Structure formats: structure tokens, C-alpha cells
């Protein structure tokens, strides 16, 4: 099956109340681990590359590796630009075969975000590509942030409605308490499902995206630390909360940190237990397997996209 946009998979996710995993890719083993897992689960999947991942792997390699994965499997796969910083990066990805791009204008004020997003939407739609935009700030909501400051970071539901109407974007990333990386919460993990419900009420037909949604899987953190890592106090969004999000209208759940942890934990284990090994396949094979296991778990037990291909 050729690459697809996210249009049909999102329509299905909204109708049948499940979420699609959007996994960050940087190299061949990560792509293989994710797509092998999705194919085994008969699940749609989104492979996403950030601009720094594109810089690292180079755009032609990424596209060709994804195309190679598609030749092996018959499931819907979208190739998406994650956190596109400007129009030019979005255009480069659109012109290089990506089927979906994110323009991240969340750092700009409302009107500037609208103008930039609209410009990307106009170009993308003329090429049959879909656009994810972002409204609200995803900065970590720490315990010591005062209530007013925290409230200002969350997505305003009425602004979200106006934003989607004026930009014509195809999906919207909202801020309801998640943040990027391995240190998301100081105290109890909590998402503002009340805001999600208000956004869904105003935008019942717009797929909603959750960034910063890694679980920071405790077993993987422990494995990293056991084999020489130093990642103290890491904390993410628990599986139960992500599952609830998938049932309550989140269509796309972004995961990068958990894949980084999976790959690093597996590699560290080989380095620590078998220091005489130096064939990269000796540690990249278990690393790919750990990625596959991690993605399978999310698809099957958390996002509910098994057999939704
Ligand atoms: O949300 C950001 C992703 O985790 C990508 O991170 O820019 O380091 O590739 P990166
Ligand atoms: P995590 O850092 O929680 O994996 O979030 C990834 C993400 O949002 C990519 O856009
Ligand atoms: Zn993100």
C-alpha cells in the first residue's frame, strides 16, 4: 500500500473511539521496529520525523526507508513532519513525499499563528497533503507554576474553534497538561480532560492531537539505570490516562521519549552484559526488538488501534 494521509485513519478513530500512535523516527531500526509492530497488530500508524531528525538522517534516506517498509507490509502508514518550525521546512517535506505536515506556530501570538498555519494549509492542500497545527503551550506544568500562569498555557476551547475555522487545518494539537521529554510531572500525573471535552464540543469533527504523550515506561527507565544510565526521577503520562484520552476524542498520540528509552535500555544491556561484543548488529537487533515490543504494547493495550487498519 502506498503512503496515505491521516484523513481516513482519523475519521475512523473519531467514529470508533481509538487513537493512532505517531512515533518519531530517526533511523532504520526505529522505522522497522514500529512498522513491524503495527503490521503485526494490523493497525494504522503515523511515522513522524522532526526537522532535527531530518537533518540527522537526511530526507531522502527517511523517505526511502519508509517506502521500503511499505513494500513489506499492507497497513495504512502516513509520513508526517513533526513540529515544522516554518513554511520552508513544511514545503520541503511536502515536495519530498510526506503526506502530512505539522506547522508549529504555538510560539507565536494567535494572529501570527493563524497567518502562518493558513499559508502552510494553502500550499499543502494544493498538493493533497494534510496539516496539523498547534494552539496552546506545551511547557511542563510544574507544581510551583501558579494557577493563572498554568491556565494561560492550556488551549482555550473557543480560540481553538476560531483557529480551525480560519486556518482550515486538518487536525489540532492542544495543550492539556502534557509536556515533551522524560520529566513531565513533579507530583501526580494529571491531564485537563475538562478542556479536552470543551474542545471536542466546539470541534466535534476535528481530530485532536496529544503531544508529549510518552509514558516514560518505568521498566525502561529502570533498565537504563541498571545498566549504567543516569535518569533519576523521570515521569510520564500513565497508560490508563492515555487510554482514557483515546476514548475521549484524542485521535493522535505522539511518542518519542519512550522509543529513545527502549533503544537505549536495550543497547546498554548488551554493552554491560557482553562487553566483548562490538558488532553493531549485536546491540541493534535487541534495540529494534525493544522498539517493536514497546510499540506493540501501546497499540494493543493503550491506544486501541489493533485491527483498525
Ligand atoms: O517533540 C519533539 C520530538 O521529541 C522530536 O525531538 O527534535 O530532538 O528530534 P527532536
Ligand atoms: P514525548 O517526549 O512525550 O515522547 O513526546 C513526543 C512528541 O510530542 C513528539 O512531537
Ligand atoms: Zn511534540
Q: CB–CB of 224/231 below 8 Å? A: yes
pLDDT per residue as tens digits for the range 243-256: 999 999 999 999 99
Question: What phi-psi label fits residue 31: left (phi over 0), alpha (psi between -120 and 50 degrees) or beta?
Answer: alpha
Q: What is the pLDDT of residues 134-146, one digit of tens each?
A: 999 886 655 455 6
The catalytic position among 36, 74, 82, 86 is 82
What is the residue whose three cell numbers read 495504512? 76
> Among residues 303, 199, 174, which one has the least CA distance to residue 247?
303
137 vs 44 pLDDT, higher one: 44
CATH number at residue 101: 3.20.20.70
**Within a domain: 47:** yes
DSSP letter assigned to residue 138 = -
Distance 254 CA to ligand 2 centre (A): 5
Between residues 119 and 141, the one the model is more confident about = 119
Residue 80 pLDDT class (50, 70, 90 cuts): very high
Eight-state DSSP code of residue 245: H
Task: Work out whether the CA dihedral 225, 229, 235, 240 comes out positive or negative.
Answer: negative
Mean pLDDT of 238-247: 98
| Number of domains comprising the chain | 1
pLDDT at 104: 97
Per the domain annotation, does 124 fall within a domain? yes
* Residue 282 counted as domain residue: yes
The grid cell for 248 is 475521549
Instruction: Please indicate, yes or no, if residue 152 is contained in any of the structural domains.
Output: yes
- CA distance linking residue 294 with residue 9, whole number of Å: 21
Q: Report residue 186's pLDDT band, with 50, 70 and 90 as the boundaries.
A: confident
CA of 228 to the centre of ligand 3 (A): 28
**Ligand 1 atom at minimum distance from 212 CA:** 1
Say yes or no: CB of residue 255 within 6 Å of ligand 2: yes
Cα–Cα nearest to 196, from 215, 213, 217, 216: 213
Instruction: Give CA–CA dist 35/304, Å, rounded.
Output: 16
What whole-number distance in Å separates Cα of residue 174 and Cα of residue 145? 19
Mean pLDDT of 88-92: 98
Domain span at 293: 7-303
Confidence of residue 111 (pLDDT cuts 50, 70, 90): very high
Q: Which atom of ligand 1 is the closest one to the Cα of 56?
A: 9
What's the rounded mean pLDDT across residues 95-106? 97
Nearest ligand 1 atom, CA 257: 4
Closest residue by Cα to atom 9, ligand 2, is: 254
Q: Which three cell numbers stand for residue 74?
A: 499492507
- Does residue 1 form part of some domain? no
Q: Is 109 annotated in the active site?
A: no
Q: What do you get for the CA distance between the two ends of the chain, in Å?
A: 11
Name the CA radius of gyration of the chain, rounded.
19
Q: Is residue 2 part of a domain?
A: no
**Percentage of residues of the chain with pLDDT beyond 70:** 96
Domain assignment present for residue 309? The answer is: no
pLDDT tens digit sequence for 288-306: 999 999 999 999 999 999 9
**To 5 degrees, how large is the angle CA 233–CA 239–CA 241?**
100
Using DSSP, state whether 140 is helix, strand or coil: coil
Best residue among 21, 25, 172, 212 to mutate for probing ligand 2's pocket (most ligand atoms within 8 Å of CB) is 212
308 within some domain: no
Collapsing DSSP states into helix, strand and coil, what is residue 46?
strand
180 Cβ inside 6 Å of ligand 2: yes
For residue range 143-160, what is the model confidence (pLDDT) as tens digits? Answer: 455 666 677 799 999 999
Beta bridge partners, 132, equal 102, 171
Amino acid at each position: 500500500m502506498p503512503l496515505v494521509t491521516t484523513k481516513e485513519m482519523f475519521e475512523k478513530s473519531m467514529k470508533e473511539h481509538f487513537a493512532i500512535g505517531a512515533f518519531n523516527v530517526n533511523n532504520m531500526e526505529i522505522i522497522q521496529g514500529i512498522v513491524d509492530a503495527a503490521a503485526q497488530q494490523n493497525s494504522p500508524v503515523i511515522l513522524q520525523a522532526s526537522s532535527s531528525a531530518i537533518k540527522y538522517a537526511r530526507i531522502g534516506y527517511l523517505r526511502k526507508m519508509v517506502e521500503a517498509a511499505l513494500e513489506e507490509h499492507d497497513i495504512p502508514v502516513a509520513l508526517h513532519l513533526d513540529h515544522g518550525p516554518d513554511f520552508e521546512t513544511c514545503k520541503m517535506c511536502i515536495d519530498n513525499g510526506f503526506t502530512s505536515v505539522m506547522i508549529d506556530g504555538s510560539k507565536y501570538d494567535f494572529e501570527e499563528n493563524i497567518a502562518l498555519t493558513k499559508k502552510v494549509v494553502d500550499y499543502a492542500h494544493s498538493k493533497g497533503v494534510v496539516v496539523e497545527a498547534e494552539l496552546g503551550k506545551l511547557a511542563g506544568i510544574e507544581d510551583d507554576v501558579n494557577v493563572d500562569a498554568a491556565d494561560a498555557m492550556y488551549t482555550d476551547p473557543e480560540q481553538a474553534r476560531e483557529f480551525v475555522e480560519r486556518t482550515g487545518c486538518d487536525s489540532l494539537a492542544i495543550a492539556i497538561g502534557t509536556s515533551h521529554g522524560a520529566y513531565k510531572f513533579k507530583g501526580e500525573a494529571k491531564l485537563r480532560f475538562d478542556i479536552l471535552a470543551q474542545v471536542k464540543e466546539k470541534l466535534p469533527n476535528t481530530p485532536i492531537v496529544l503531544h508529549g504523550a510518552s509514558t516514560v515506561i518505568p521498566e525502561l527507565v529502570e533498565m537504563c539505570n541498571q545498566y549504567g544510565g543516569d535518569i533519576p526521577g523521570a515521569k510520564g503520562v500513565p497508560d490508563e490516562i492515555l487510554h482514557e484520552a483515546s476514548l475521549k476524542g484524542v485521535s493522535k498520540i505522539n511518542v518519542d521519549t519512550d522509543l529513545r528509552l527502549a533503544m537505549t535500555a536495550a543497547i546498554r544491556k548488551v554493552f554491560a552484559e557482553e562487553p566483548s561484543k562490538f558488532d553493531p548488529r549485536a546491540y541493534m537487533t535487541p534495540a529494534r526488538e525493544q522498539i517493536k515490543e514497546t510499540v506493540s504494547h501501546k497499540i494493543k493495550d493503550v491506544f486501541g488501534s489493533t485491527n483498525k487498519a
